[in-house]
Amino acid sequence: MKFSNLFKIAWKALLRNKLRAFLTMLGIIIGVASVIAMTAIGQGSKKSISEQLSSMGSNMITIRPTSNVNVSGGARIGASGLRTLVSADADAIAKGSQNISSVSSAVQTNGQAISGANNWPTQLQGVNVNYFKIRDWDVSNGSLFTQRDDASSNKVCLLGQTVVNNLFKNGEDPIGSTIRFNKVPMTVIGVLAMKGANTFGQDQDDVIIAPFNTVQRRFLGITWVQTIYASSTSENTSAQASDDISNILRKQHKLPPDGSSDDFSVRTQAELISTMSSTSQLLTVLLSAIAGISLIVGGIGIMNIMYVSVTERTKEIGLRMSIGARGKDILFQFLIEAILISITGGIIGVVLGVTASTLVTTFLSWPTYITTSSIILSFIVCAITGVFFGYYPALKASKLDPIEALRYE
């Protein structure tokens, strides 16, 4: 019998029991929709993390002080109490590696910013001029401070947009105005371009940035550096730049070359992106696996209904065999029915999954990203499910004895 005829017979058989066929598809529909929606959410999260971390400076390398020394009671010294990095280390990094394009020392403190009757709790960061190149950050209004401002510890600053919104609520131009941070007056020379929230949900625009020496000397009164930011010449040289920094700092601090007693840590954006992406990918796989259980349930439903269909149509099977239908014709007829149920359910599931992903983005503002591979994979899984769970009932139908089938009541 021709395949086209078998297809028509299988399709007509399904149309005779539309409601039963739809209920059988329901498990497949829910499974496919769940897998696509979960994959879209996971991929969207992964893509969003990568974009947000790249926006902080795709070539950025962060060096922070650490300690392997335990104090009494077995507690480790906190990062805020460490003094292992100094400005000379930043200078050595800048001069000691050809894979480094920019370096900036950094310190920070929290406090209250005041302008007239308005005040706002925020963070003050002290950085060198190169910091803006490393972070790929510019001003939307005004200008950046200069190397001379840093060397002279001038009390000038740049405001993030969140700080501007809370200190200048009536829309005044902040450029040239004087604000106070922890009672110290500072002149606003620029407003930073908006960055938005980072991967960890922190508002990057809720910040005041001033020259490094100004914050280190006038606000903190310290001689050490809390963080050093560097930028590799390209993303491809980040790993080599990280190794260069480690070697330079070990030499600066007179540490063994094996790295066992390093008093600093070096982290590249590539490492952070890889770590966050792998965590997101693991979560996506876990959610997709849980959603995939629905496909197994749907497959079991197909097998159950096909068994019922074989029993109901025993006389029909006997009649077809008695007029010349072969066992493989009966096998393919019922197998095509199972695959049709599975594929149709898969198509509806894909539409439902894409719609659900769009609604999640629209109403919950969660990032989603639907890949073509997830849709193709869903169809392949549906076809396999139809064949796997429909084969045994179809095989049973093909092995019925025609005479016994005709006698079946």
Is 284 within the bounds of a domain?
yes
The count of domains in the chain is: 2
Please state the pTM of the whole predicted model.
0.62
Q: Mean pLDDT lowest for which of 147-151, 179-183, 326-330?
A: 326-330
CA 306 to chain centre: 42
Q: Give yes or no: residues 93 and 47 share one domain.
A: no
- Can you point out the beta strands (E) in 144-242? 156-159, 178-181, 184-192, 207-211, 227-232
User: In terms of domains, do 243 and 288 share one?
Assistant: no
Q: Do 46 and 192 share a domain, yes or no?
A: no
Q: Are residues 236 and 348 located together in one domain of the fold?
A: no
pLDDT at 199 over 60: no
Q: How far is CA 323 from CA 137, 319, 333, in A?
A: 80, 6, 16
- Name which residue leads in pLDDT, 323 or 49: 323
In terms of domains, do 226 and 288 share one?
A: no
| 243 vs 9, more confident | 243
The answer to whether residue 18 is domain-embedded is yes
pLDDT in tens, 275-330: 666 666 777 777 667 767 777 777 788 888 877 877 777 777 777 777 777 777 78
How do residues 65-113 score in pLDDT, each as one tens digit?
Answer: 986 544 444 444 555 557 889 999 999 999 998 999 999 999 999 999 9
pLDDT in tens, 378-387: 778 877 887 8
Boundary of a domain, candidates 193, 228, 262: 262
Query: 230, 262, 294: which is the final residue of a domain?
Result: 262
Last residue of a domain, one of 200, 232, 262: 262
Domain shared by 250 and 279, yes or no: no
Please name the residue ranges forming H helices in 253-268.
none
Q: What 3-state DSSP class applies to 241?
A: helix
17 or 71: whose pLDDT is higher?
A: 17
Which of 80, 109, 107, 106 has the alpha carbon at shortest distance from 181? 109
The string of pLDDT tens digits covering residues 398-409 is 787 776 666 655
| Domain containing residue 82 | 67-262
| CA 83 from centroid of its chain's CA atoms | 34
pLDDT of 81: 54
